[in-house]
Amino acid sequence: MEQKDIVVLSFESSCDETACAIVKNGREVLSSVIATQIDIHKRFGGVVPEIASRNHIDAISNVVSEALDKAHLTLDDIDLVSATYGPGLVGALLVGLSFGKSLAWTIKKPFLGVHHIEGHIAANYITHKDLEPPYICLVVSGGHSNLVYVKNYTEFEILGRTRDDAVGEAFDKVSRVIGLEYPGGPKIDKLAKEGHPSYKLPETFFEDSLDFSFSGIKTAVINLVHKEGENINVPDLCASFEKAVTDVLLSNLLKACKMKNTNKVALAGGVSANSYIRATLDQMGKENNLKIYYPELVYCTDNAAMIGAAAYYDYLAGKTSDLDLNAVPYLKLGDKLRK
């Protein structure tokens, strides 16, 4: 018997994007609307939590109407409502989560709270209709750096995590010190293309662990900028920074593949948009016979379609959340607070 289609309306508001999407059967995006606050936070050099919350409140009704309009659907067509409940900025999370729970209650449909990182991983299902677990996923974003074994659609094993800064955080801090605007990742990506990795930066590896550390690389860049002053070659510095970070990320990724005896790998999160990381991984893939998956650029950074994709698989596994589900700012991957 054919399975009934499941149409999920999803929210993402964990940081500085207010997003709403409608996704069918976990893989087909009917609409995805993202109201970004980047221009508002730029002048502060990073996201200001209180300002983010207020702007989410202003934007949220509009993004829902737009998502429904673009998909040519009404609320009657929705089978499940979902929203990110953690990790993220608590005030920001609460806006999408409260709106989502209220909407589910109003239209008498089930609600499901989604883990933001599980969402980033699920972004790959939208782009790659053939991708199925198990595989290794390297999740690299502004707030997280995790090496994850995706056992199945709803079970995740963390093989390595950052012990200090997240990769995106290091990109953003380095960019600030060289005078680039927030968010620095895309700007470093662009400038690095004009440079060569001529500066030697420290690369941290741990014995018997696939954990990461990026604060050493970041501090070395900051010290170099202070020491060299105006003589610093910015494109070379960007290329050197990207190379150091990429060496560490991809060498642990390869070790994880060997450990789990798999050649299937996916990237996820804002930093997975980085062109040097992608090119280097492609090369490494050829040398090591890896099958590599990346989300489309628009689904690398925060969006609600990835939350709808993750929600679909949780729902298929029989999960829903109670309407008293609270935001959990420091939610860890693998923590299952919902019933």
- Which parts of this chain interact with ligand KG4 (CB under 6 A)? 15, 141-143, 168, 171-172, 183-186, 189, 269-271, 273-274, 301-302
Contact 63, 20 (CB under 8 A): yes
Contact 123, 303 (CB under 8 A): yes
Closest to ligand KG4 by CB, 98 vs 146, is 146
Q: Which does 171 bind (CB under 5 to 8 A by kind): ligand KG4, Zn ion, none?
A: ligand KG4
Q: Could you identify the residue written with the tokens 């993750």?
A: 310
Closest to Zn ion by CB, 78 vs 138, is 138
Measured over the CA atoms of residue 62, residue 67, residue 73 and residue 77, the dihedral's sign is negative
Q: How far is the CB of 116 from ligand KG4 (least distance, A)?
A: 6
Instruction: Using alpha carbons, select from 218, 287, 215, 220 the residue that is nearest to residue 250.
Output: 287
Q: Which of residues 293-322 bind Zn ion (CB under 5 A)?
A: 302
Q: Which does 273 bind (CB under 5 to 8 A by kind): ligand KG4, Zn ion, none?
A: ligand KG4
Distance CA 129, CA 131 (A): 6
Closest to ligand KG4 by CB, 189 vs 314, is 189
Closest to ligand KG4 by CB, 301 vs 321, is 301
Closest to Zn ion by CB, 19 vs 201, is 19
Distance CA 67, CA 64 (A): 5
Q: How far is the CB of 72 from Zn ion (least distance, A)?
A: 28
Q: How far is the CB of 17 from ligand KG4 (least distance, A)?
A: 7
Closest to Zn ion by CB, 118 vs 302, is 302
> Using N-to-C axis directions, what is the helix angle for 90-107 and 49-71, rounded to 10°?
30
Q: Which does 125 bind (CB under 5 to 8 A by kind): Zn ion, ligand KG4, none?
A: none
Length of the chain: 339
Q: Which does 186 bind (CB under 5 to 8 A by kind): ligand KG4, Zn ion, none?
A: ligand KG4
Q: How far is the CB of 72 from ligand KG4 (least distance, A)?
A: 28
Q: Which does 12 bind (CB under 5 to 8 A by kind): Zn ion, ligand KG4, none?
A: none
Beta bridge partners of 32: 21
Q: How far is the CB of 106 from ligand KG4 (least distance, A)?
A: 29
Q: How far is the CB of 120 from Zn ion (least distance, A)?
A: 6
Contact 216, 202 (CB under 8 A): yes
Q: How far is the CB of 168 from Zn ion (least distance, A)?
A: 9
Q: Which two tokens stand for residue 236?
A: 């070379």
Task: For residue 141, state whether it binds Zn ion (rule: CB under 5 A).
Answer: yes
Distance CA 83, CA 114 (A): 6
Closest to ligand KG4 by CB, 118 vs 302, is 302
Distance CA 207, CA 332 (A): 24
Distance CA 327, CA 233 (A): 44
287 three-class SS? helix
Residues that bind Zn ion (CB under 5 A): 141, 302
